[in-house]
A and B are shown apart, each in its own frame.
Chain A
Amino acid sequence: MNPCFYWIDRPVSFRPGETIAAALLRAGIADLGAGGGIVPGRVFCGIGACQACVVAVLGEGAVEACLTPARPGMRLAPPPSLGPHHERAGHE
């Protein structure tokens, strides 16, 4: 059985060596949520340049899903503190 990480509460399995982005897309998760911003995140440029696929890793920080190898047990969510509405993020 393939290892898995969690997108919010949903388990997402991945193949060893795969990036977070590849695993999310294969699971049909294209909309990465607006988080603290106003435009939903999504995998776009694949090279860490556009920052649209930045996800929050619980206990670590924010990383580009397209660059970051998936690890078993990681807990991922839309980043709460990116975009123009970051000042509100703490109250929502």
Chain B
Amino acid sequence: MSEQAMSELPILVVGGGPAGVAAAVSLAEAGLRVLLVEQRERLGGAIHRQPAPDAPQIWRGPARHRRNWTQLTSRLERVAARIELRTSSVFLGVDGAGRFLCEDRRAGQVFARPVRAAIVAVGAVERIRPFEGWERPGVMSAGGAQVLLKETGRPPEGPIVVAGSGPLLLAVAAQLARAGNPPLAVLERGKPWSRPKALASLMMAGPQLAEAAAYATALALNRVPYRLDSEVLGVSEAGQGLAIRVRLGTVERVLQARQLLVHDGLEPNRVGISLPAPEADVPVVLAGDGREIVGADAALLDGQRAAAAVLARLGRAVPVAALEAALGKARAFQRDLADALKSPPTLPSPETMICRCEGRRYADFTALPAEASAREIRLMGRFGLGACQGRFCGPTLAELRGEPLPPASPPRWPLRPVSLAALASFSMDQTET
């Protein structure tokens, strides 16, 4: 390809949350063409998720997030001519020829486009610490419940218990309360009072602290108990709902609920995304929570940082010292938060399902030879190779083995189910047809 043809190719940005949109806008403002791909119908990502057209907006979120998003979307509108936006389009992976494949689900067509560089900003996945029965219908991730709540504006029906660890428990519980169905209880496994140093540093964080206080107020007004040093031990079916065996400090109890929402922190959604060498012809850069859990505020900055890295590769260096400094602060905040809520690992019971995709339990894991290789764990144990490609059992396996399973090499694509019809109507470059 000639240098001129190359310079006319777009930069691919995967993911329309704050990091991806910030990256796309920064590149377009620098005069480059951008192809922005988002799997849902609307931009926004987890933090700025917009309600469906006719749905009520029950929670508008902290003012600073709204302001950030309004500013970003108005910048996006000003450079819209240089950004080709493909919504309802799912990133499938990189094929053997290095092409970035996406499926336009609305058109039912897989497409690949030659690109000059790619920024992957696909956000985080939730970490789940498994317990007996976590795979049952009625158990949902707290983030998953938040998606439904933000998009539909309606809370799930019936009694809800929220459990696990991390600030998202508070946020989701407060949003459920505002939407009219406050949870029975919020169970946080951590014991922050036992980590005064981390707690003291957290108290220095301005906006996040105000946000947490707003959530705590919403819970207090609705008399929702927030219990520290508490966790779910197991779940079984009970009539139309769930019997949830919990530990509250040193006391065990059974709570009856219709829904159990679980969440144990966030992991970058890195599965299946292989990064070429930094000097590769088509550089690939990660951004936002998909690179490192930095939070919504810093995701905007990280998107700009990723755009700056691409611009630098194209010979147009821009200063990033201020961005790096702000990211350093966000990193310190996340570290303090993790420290404050840190809890010792719990050994699953033999019946606890570790891999939901393949239905594999902890007893199946312990039946493997102690020296089983990553390959044997996958092929004999059938852990870490199901439909989710190990996104959910990965962190558990890493904890049980003492080291993560190395990523499958080459990565398995498609990362998502794709119909043969969509593959059959594969299009290389729609601009040339």
Residues B388 and A49 in contact, CB atoms below 8 Å apart: yes
Residues B141 and A46 in contact, CB atoms below 8 Å apart: yes
CB contact between B359 and one of A49, A50, A61, A83 (< 8 Å): that residue: A83
Residues B55 and A44 in contact, CB atoms below 8 Å apart: no
Complex Cα gap A62–B414 (Å) = 13
Whether B198 is near chain A, meaning CB under 8 Å from some CB there, is no
Whether A54 is near chain B, meaning CB under 8 Å from some CB there, is yes
Residues B137 and A62 in contact, CB atoms below 8 Å apart: no
**Contacting residues, chain B, for A46 (C-beta < 8 A):** 140-141, 143-148
Chain A, interface size: which category?
35 or more
Whether A84 is near chain B, meaning CB under 8 Å from some CB there, is yes
Residue of A nearest to B271 (CB): A49
With contacts A17-B53, A50-B392, A66-B147 taken as known, whether A60 is within 8 angstroms of B421 at the C-beta atoms is yes
Whether B341 is near chain A, meaning CB under 8 Å from some CB there, is no
**Contacting residues, chain B, for A16 (C-beta < 8 A):** 52-54
Complex Cα gap A2–B417 (Å) = 29
**Contacting residues, chain A, for B46 (C-beta < 8 A):** 47
CB contact between B416 and one of A21, A30, A64, A83 (< 8 Å): that residue: A64
CB contact between A67 and one of B39, B136, B388 (< 8 Å): that residue: B39
Which of chain B's residues 404-433 have a Cβ closer than 8 Å to chain A? 416-422
Complex Cα gap A23–B141 (Å) = 18
Residues B125 and A49 in contact, CB atoms below 8 Å apart: yes
CB contact between B387 and one of A42, A43, A82 (< 8 Å): that residue: A82
**Contacting residues, chain A, for B342 (C-beta < 8 A):** none
Which of chain A's residues 28-80 have a Cβ closer than 8 Å to chain B? 30-32, 37-52, 54, 60-64, 66-69
How far is the CB of A18 from the nearest CB of chain B, in Å?
6
With contacts A30-B138, A51-B387, A68-B105 taken as known, whether A84 is within 8 angstroms of B90 at the C-beta atoms is no
**Contacting residues, chain A, for B55 (C-beta < 8 A):** 15, 17-18
Complex Cα gap A54–B52 (Å) = 21
Complex Cα gap A44–B259 (Å) = 11
Whether B353 is near chain A, meaning CB under 8 Å from some CB there, is yes
Interface-facing stretch out of B149-157, B209-217, B292-300, B327-335: B149-157
CB contact between B41 and one of A26, A43, A47, A69 (< 8 Å): that residue: A69
With contacts A49-B269, A61-B419 taken as known, whether A32 is within 8 angstroms of B143 at the C-beta atoms is no
Residues B359 and A84 in contact, CB atoms below 8 Å apart: yes
Residues A30 and B52 in contact, CB atoms below 8 Å apart: no
* Contact mask for chain B residues 7-44; partner A; CB cutoff 8 A; 1 contact, 0 none: 00000000000000000000000000000000111000
Which of chain A's residues 8-23 have a Cβ closer than 8 Å to chain B? 15-19, 21-22
Residues B137 and A50 in contact, CB atoms below 8 Å apart: no
CB contact between A18 and one of B152, B358, B387 (< 8 Å): that residue: B152
Residues A50 and B151 in contact, CB atoms below 8 Å apart: no
Residues A47 and B144 in contact, CB atoms below 8 Å apart: yes
Residues A43 and B54 in contact, CB atoms below 8 Å apart: no
Residue of A nearest to B138 (CB): A30
A-B contact pairs, 21 of them (CB 8 A): A17-B53, A18-B52, A19-B151, A30-B137, A40-B136, A42-B135, A44-B144, A45-B143, A49-B269, A49-B388, A50-B388, A51-B386, A51-B387, A52-B388, A60-B419, A60-B421, A61-B418, A62-B417, A68-B105, A84-B358, A84-B382
Given known contacts A19-B151, A42-B136, what 10 new A-B pairs fall within 8 Å (CB)?
A: A16-B53, A37-B359, A43-B144, A44-B139, A45-B141, A48-B90, A49-B125, A54-B417, A61-B417, A69-B88
